[in-house]
Amino acid sequence: MNARLLLLAFVLSSPMPVLADAVRVSLEGRAVLGEKLPALLVHIEEPIAGFEVKLKRSDGQDVEVKGGGSPGLTRRIELNQPEGRFRYEGALTVRFPDAESGVMPLSFDTELYGTLKLDVRKEDVDVAARRLRFVLSRPAKRAELTVLMDTGKKAFEGEVPFKGEAGGTPLELTWPAAEGRVMKISLRAFDTAEFYTGVDLYPWQVDIPHEEVNFASGRADIPAAERGKLDKSHALIVDALTKYGRFASLRLYVMGHTDTVGAAAENLDLSVRRAKSLAAYFRKKGLRVPVYYEGLGEEAPAVATPDETAEAGNRRAEYIIAVEDPVLQHAPRPPRWRKL
């Protein structure tokens, strides 16, 4: 998560001139839980004998700190508080070398935030409708959106304001039509305190057209006579990687399917082994991208058939280029992709 630490102004009553010359006070009033705490900074400008800070937090907690130092030093007083917004009231007392002292009343607010969370599900990205939905964990102030096309041009790059919608409220962004395919959507969302978090989305995949390999019945090894088909597929995969690899780091996914002849459990195992053989062949041809494989057996047929039907259209594989795990049509369950 990225967060910006802001220096806040706070209310001070006018101190006596000598105190104003000797000590300057500033505030780091906003912080992220687990990274830093809000802090009061005492900047020592001239010689002092010491100082004491006494504060009352809005929940009743007392803060008392004593310190000192030479001119040019800054003492950082961390305000160890719970998550949320608090007000502090109190005073800074400064003791001078001649035994005189001065008092500076203090009144300021601090905010300590937990991690800002952004939730975007795959189904919330509708490229066809040019729409993106998301949820932020805290009230939303604005979002920065960039939509990059495969032409290298941007369909949209700009800021979209919100109205402080409560955390958990579904928020929506849209962008205008543009030539080409959406390659990357960059979203950065800000809460009302100007903390932000972001995500890059790659809502696309390339299905590589190919001629199916004919395996021997019950076997997963690739017949020598079928290797020419895979060589042609490999060339198409390389072309796709060359075309789209400039936008992101890509992966190859290989999915295997069978017809309904035989036991379902055996077909599932066979489809996984065949997918692995295909993936391994592409790897041996020199592919340097990560390669994943999986099989669904007879669970996701391209052609609906009764059981024990030898349908050639269902004895198939899918070769998919994508940045993230691809979305499969008609898959009965999320694939458990295995890395080769």
Same domain, 230 and 152: no
**CA separation for the pair 19, 4 (Å, rounded):** 31
Q: Which of 95, 36, 44 is nearest to 70 (CA)?
A: 44
Same domain, 211 and 321: yes
* Cβ count within 10 A of residue 99: 7
Same domain, 242 and 332: yes
180, 201, 222 — which closes off a domain? 201
Give the pLDDT confidence score for residue 90 in this predicted structure: 96
Same domain, 290 and 308: yes
Who contacts 72 (Cβ-Cβ below 8 Å, separation ≥6)? 44, 45
Give the pLDDT confidence score for residue 12 in this predicted structure: 40
Same domain, 133 and 78: no
Q: Is residue 52 part of a domain?
A: yes
Same domain, 264 and 145: no
Q: What is the pLDDT along the chain (340 residues), one digit of tens a residue?
A: 333 333 333 444 344 445 768 999 999 998 888 889 999 999 999 999 999 999 999 999 999 999 999 999 999 999 999 988 899 999 999 999 988 899 999 999 999 988 899 999 988 999 999 999 999 999 999 999 999 999 999 999 999 999 999 999 999 999 999 999 999 999 999 999 888 999 999 999 999 999 999 999 899 999 999 999 999 999 999 999 999 998 899 999 999 999 999 999 999 999 999 999 999 999 999 999 999 999 999 999 989 899 999 998 999 999 999 999 987 877 888 899 999 9
Max Cα distance, the chain (Å)? 101
DSSP-assigned letters across all residues of 89-109: EEEEEEE-TTS-EEEEEEEEE
Give the pLDDT confidence score for residue 18 in this predicted structure: 57
Residues β-bridged to residue 292: 253, 339
Give the pLDDT confidence score for residue 16 in this predicted structure: 42
Containing structural domain, residue 52: 17-113
Same domain, 254 and 131: no
Same domain, 234 and 332: yes
Q: Is residue 31 part of a domain?
A: yes
**CA separation for the pair 277, 240 (Å, rounded):** 21
Q: Is residue 183 part of a domain?
A: yes
Spell out a b/e string for 217-233, using b for 16 or more CB atoms within 10 Å of the CB, else e: eeebebeeeeeeebeeb
182, 201, 220 — which closes off a domain? 201
Same domain, 194 and 238: no
**CA separation for the pair 48, 171 (Å, rounded):** 54
Number of domains in the chain: 3
Residue 56 Cα to chain centre, angstroms: 38
Q: Which of 47, 45, 53, 51 is nearest to 23 (CA)?
A: 45
